[in-house]
Each structure stands twice: as structure tokens, then as C-alpha cells.
Amino acid sequence: MIDRLSDKSVGLLFSCEPALRRWLSRRVDGFDLDDLVQESLVAAWQAWPSFKANSSLSTWLYGIAKRRLWNYYRSGKAKPPLLELDGPRAVELAGDRCGDGETRFVDSLCLDCLIERLRDDERALFELFYRRRRSVAEIAKSLCLPEGTVKYRLFALRARLRAGLRV
């Protein structure tokens, strides 16, 4: 393990700064961008002893930046990007369809973070409709519910995800 105070650890963290800045710039801009990048790097430096190298350094750093970004969204200074959840094949963050693989990976982490915070029944519905691509009729039959109830629950689920689970 590399000591937190070593030049090597600081160099490793700052080598990820351009990619981190690029990822955050798709979500915020101006002084807020600079603040979030700086807060993320400082938090990573403080948490350096907890880095176990079970994942890559950039993945670990993106996780820290993602939490800082959601705290920023929760503060009300900005709104998170809307989720396009209108069809089973449209589960991605708006505006990143042309993004690079790194952006798609980090955005999927953001989506996974939102999904983790769903109730069990909502998570099961998300899984059936968006990941397993089951129709409303198939879901209704498997859950022994009317189709209208499934449609309403999907509507409520989309609204909750779009609001960033602030409800």
C-alpha cells in the first residue's frame, strides 16, 4: 500500500483528475465543477488508507466523486440529469448516448445507486421490465396483479427515479 503522504499517492490521484473533470463537466459547470473536482480529490486523499485496490483507482475515485455529486444535487443547487425510462431499451442517462465507455460505466453506477435505494417491490419491477424486458402483461401475470396496476407502478417508479428519489 502506498502511504497517503507520498508523492506517488498524490501523483496517482492527480493523474485521474482530467478524466474526473471531464465526467463531472457533463453534469455541472463553472465554479461548481472546480469545487466538486477539488472536493472529490481531497476526499480521496483523506480516504486513501481505505483504498484496498479491489477495483481500479479510477473506479474508486469515481465512486467518491459520484457521492459528492449526489450531495450537490441534494443541496438543491442543481438537478440531476433526467433518466430516460420510457421503454425497456431506454435505460440510460439523458445526454450521454454518444458518450465514451468510461462515461457509460460511471452513469450505470449512478443508475445502480438509484436502484439500490428503491424498495424491494420497486426494484423487482425495475428488474422485470427494464433488465429482463418482460411486457406489462407478463409482469401482471407473474405478480398476479391487474395490468393497470403494473402500468401505474411503472409510472410511479419512473417518476421516483427521475426525481432522484427525493420523494
| Contact by Cβ (8 Å): 41, 13 | yes
Asked if 153 and 143 touch (Cβ cutoff 8 Å), the reply is no
Contact call for residues 117 and 76 (beta carbons, < 8 A): no
For the stretch 73-101, pLDDT in tens is 777 766 655 455 544 444 444 444 444 45
Residue 2 lies in a domain: no
Query: Containing domain of residue 93, as a range?
Result: 84-162
- Residue-wise pLDDT for 98-148, tens only, equals 444 544 555 555 666 777 778 899 989 988 988 888 899 999 999 999 999
Residue labelled with grid coordinates 474508486: 60
Global pTM exceeds 0.95: no
Domain stops at, among 48, 74, 100: 74
